[in-house]
Structure 1
């Protein structure tokens, strides 16, 4: 199966200040979620077996653009507030994108070849968020492409203050 360039505009409820990019067969491991919570709070990204969790600035419905691309895209950091990358193994051939409290049945599904993928998250609008997190224009752009297993990295860190969780 070849990678077809795909782009979808989603609205995801970021319950628990996060959403997930996960293999359809990845289990929910509550111990692993607790182990990666510090990474998520500090870096707005965490990665564990078959799951990349993306931290959000607000616990609201957030716009998320997902792009599946055949190769690593260029990355201009300048227009973005925060940029991260992580790896995820997709053993099922299906990527699910869903909010922290969504069920697999309500997830957005993307069919891809089995393999390891890189997930880049570019975030914008963090400066528009009110002190209590009730309002803001934050948005999340996720790019996914075939890659290799590499460590999770923050390519650009937001240095302003975000509402406390």
Structure 2
């Protein structure tokens, strides 16, 4: 199966201040919850066993743009508040994108060839968030392409303070 270039705009409820990019066959690893939470607080990303969890500034509906391509996209950082990269193995041939408390059945499904993928997340709008977390236009652009397994990396770190409501 070839990779069809895909771009889809979603609105996800970021329950638990997060959303996920996951393999359809990945199980929830309850033993890794503490590690995942620590990674999300520090880096706004966690990658474990077929799941990449993206941390969000707010616990509400967030705009997420998913882009899947056959090769690595350019890496412009200047206009983004926070940029991360992680790897995920997709053994099922299905990438699921879901909010923090969504089920596999309500997830957005993307068919892809089996393999390892890189996931780059660019976040914007953090600087417009008020102390009560209600202002601003938070957006997440998630780019996914075939790659090799590498460490989770923060390419650009947001240096302000995020409200955690």
- In the alignment, does 2:137 pair up with 1:160? no
Other-structure match for 2:147: 147
Structure 2 unaligned segments of length 5 or more: list them: none
- In the alignment, does 2:116 pair up with 1:116? yes
Shift of 1:34: 2.0
Structure 1 unaligned segments of length 5 or more: list them: none
Other-structure match for 2:127: 127
Moved over 2 A (4+): none
Other-structure match for 1:102: 102
Shift of 1:37: 1.1
Separation in structure 2 between the aligned mates of residue 164 and residue 96 of structure 1, nearest angstrom: 26
Query: How high is the TM-score relative to the length of structure 1?
Result: 0.98
Q: How do 1:15-164 and structure 2 match up within 5 A?
A: 15-164=15-164
Separation in structure 2 between the aligned mates of residue 40 and residue 79 of structure 1, nearest angstrom: 22
Shift of 1:73: 0.5
Query: How high is the TM-score relative to the length of structure 2?
Result: 0.98
Superposed CA offset, 1:40-98 (max 9, x none): 11000000000000000100100000000100000110010000000000000000000
The aligned length equals 165
Shift of 1:134: 2.4
